[in-house]
Every structure is written in C-alpha cells, then in structure tokens.
Structure 1
Amino acid sequence: MDLTRYVDGLRAELLAAAGPQEAALAERLAAAVASATRLAMLDVLSDAADEITRDLAPGSVEVRVRERNPYFVVTAPDAPPAALPEAESAPEGPVGRINFRPPEQLKQRIEEAAAREGLSVNAWMTRALSAVVAGVPAHRPPRSDRSFVGWVG
C-alpha cells in the first residue's frame, strides 16, 4: 500500500488552507509533517490489524513495512471459520464482559505472553479462548516486525 497519495493529499490541504502570506510557512510545515504523517498512518494500520485480529481469532492480520510502504500479511485460522461458535463470528453483535480473577502468577504470564505477541491482554485472551473453544492451537509467532527501524520521509 503506497502511502504517498495520502501524505500528498494532506500536504495539498495544508497548502490550500494557507493564504498568500503564509504560503512559505505552510510549505515548510508540510515538508516537516510528512514523516510524522507516515508514522501516524502506520500506527493506525497496525492498530486496525490488531482489531481485525481480535475478530479473526485464531487467525491474524499483521502490518509489515518494506521500502517505506506497509503491506498486510493474513494468517488464516487453522480451523475453518464455521468451526467457531456463532456468537464469536458475528462482530456486529454485542460485546460480553467477564470478570476474570486469575492468580497473580498466571496474570503475569498472560501479560508476558500478550506482550511477546504484540497484543493487548484482552486481544490475546480473546484469541486464545476462541481457539480453545474451537479446538485449535492458539499460539501465533511473536510480532517481532511490529517495531519500525529507519527513516521515513
């Protein structure tokens, strides 16, 4: 996915909002904000992939970056979607709430496992429990590619 058109669109909006006296300042601001805009978009895409992963559990969607451009990697669940109970496959349905009080040691292990996979505790538990009730393995390789290294311009 090429982010250039989105960054250029934001730049054009910024320049259009500037009057003749502010044009030079707007041009400098547009150049400075381009990198920050790319990083913000990558964060949004990453968060969206995490949200989709919660609904796709035990499958996953990851965002990876190659040559400054993000792309998605979709890992299908081991079991066909029909194997999941009806309530879990309907994302438009209401969200249930459960108070879960594990022993402190288990809680720490859950938090560590979620962190290793780059997920929130809620997302990790939703995926793990969905896999358990569907009878498929819940483990997914850690998301080591979640951090960004290099220059974005």
Structure 2
Amino acid sequence: MDLTPYVETLHRELAVAAEAGGDEARALAERLTAPLESATRLTLLSVLSAAVDEITREIAPGSVDVRLRGLDPDFVVVLPQHEDRTEPLDAPPPSPAPAPVPADMDEGGTARVNLRLPAHLKTRAEEVAGSEGLSVNAWLVRVVSAAVDTGAAAPRTSGKARTIGQSFTGWVH
C-alpha cells in the first residue's frame, strides 16, 4: 500500500490552512512539511496496525498482518483452513483444530502483554506460527485461548517450587 498520496494530501491541506495566516504562516508550513512526513507515515502505520488487530479478532482463526517493506506497508491475509472431507477412512484422526478466539472478546477490548521468552522458545514459536500461516501474536492468542478453554496448564517439572536462598514469613516477638 502506497502511503505517499495520503501524506501528500496532508501536506496540501497544511499549505491551504497556512494560506489563511499569510506569508509567515506559509513559510512555517513549508519548513514543517519535510519533518512531518515521517511523523505522518508513523501515525498512518499505527492506524493500520490497530485496524489489522481489529480485523484479525473478527476473522479468527484467520489473521491479517501488516508488514513494512521500505516505506510502505503490505498486508498479509491468512484465511482459516477448511477441513478436507475426502480423507480415507483408515487415516489417522486429524489433530484438533486450534481454539477460535471467543466471540465475547470485544467486551473487554484488548490488552497488551509483554512476554519474555528464551530465544530458543521464541524461535520455535515463530516457526510453528509461520508453518500455520499466522503471526506469532495470532498464534499465541490461539494457544492461550485453547489452554484457558480446556483448562490445560503448563506441565510442572516437580511438585515443589524451586527456591533460591532462604525466605521466612510470619511475626517475630
């Protein structure tokens, strides 16, 4: 998607608005045009990113990603895959489909979460998401949704939590 026409329209509107202020305002508008170009593009990208997030929630389990190529964004649309009903009867059962994002998700809006993963786990998540044609974010939303819906929890390595050092709780008299 070429953002240049939108940026140029904003520049023209700024010039028209500056005409009403006289020569000094027109000169200021001309000086501001170049620095405002990057801010305008960044703002447009933010708007497109927010729109893509809303669209992705609506078409889940499909997804839409916005990717920046040079100065212009590209959109990648991944539609949900439909099951093929022509499989032989003795074929192994297909793996369960990822859980869709709940329809009532809009009630609470979206929340941003900072997730820190070990590098090797992040790489594996990117590979799996890519193999399913999803962004990592869309894939994580599916995985978390499935875990919450099924009550699945992360496996524990042992019954006791690992502690470092010593800690004491209570009152001392």
Q: TM-score, normalised by structure 1?
A: 0.56
Q: Which residue identity does 1:68 align to in structure 2?
A: L
Unaligned runs of 5+ in 2: 84-98, 117-124, 126-135, 151-173
- Residue in 1 that maps onto 2:32: 29
| C-alpha distance in structure 2 between counterparts of 1:34 and 1:43, whole Å | 14
How many Å apart are 1:67 and its aligned residue? 2.2
Aligned counterpart, 1:63: 66
Query: TM-score normalized by structure 2?
Result: 0.50
Displacement after TM superposition at 1:39 (Å): 0.7
Alignment of 1:5-44 (within 5 A): 5-18=5-18, 19=21, 20-44=23-47
SS at match of 2:68: strand
Q: 2 CA distance for matches of 1:32 and 1:44? A: 19
| Structure showing the higher helix proportion among its residues | 1
What letter corresponds to residue 30 of structure 1 in structure 2?
A: T
RMSD: 3.5
CA contact (8 A) 2:65 2:76 kept: yes
Letter in 2 for 1:67: G
After TM superposition, the structure 1 = structure 2 runs for residues 1-153 of structure 1, keeping only pairs within 5 Å, are 1-18=1-18, 19=21, 20-79=23-82, 88=103, 112=115, 117-118=136-137, 124=141, 128=145
Q: Deviations along 1:87-123, whole A, 9 cap, x unmatched?
A: 94xxxx9x557xxxxxxxxxxxx9749xx8346x9xx
The residue type equivalent to 1:31 in the other structure is A
Q: What is the CA distance between 1:30 and its match in structure 2?
A: 1.6
Relative contact order (alpha carbons < 8 A, sep ≥ 6): 1 or 2 greater? 1
* Contact preservation (8 Å) 2:61, 2:142: no
Identity of aligned residues (%): 46
1:27-72 per-position Cα deviation (integer Å, ceiling 9, x unaligned): 1112111100001111111111111000111110000111211110
Cα distance in 2 between the residues matched to 1:21 and 1:57: 52
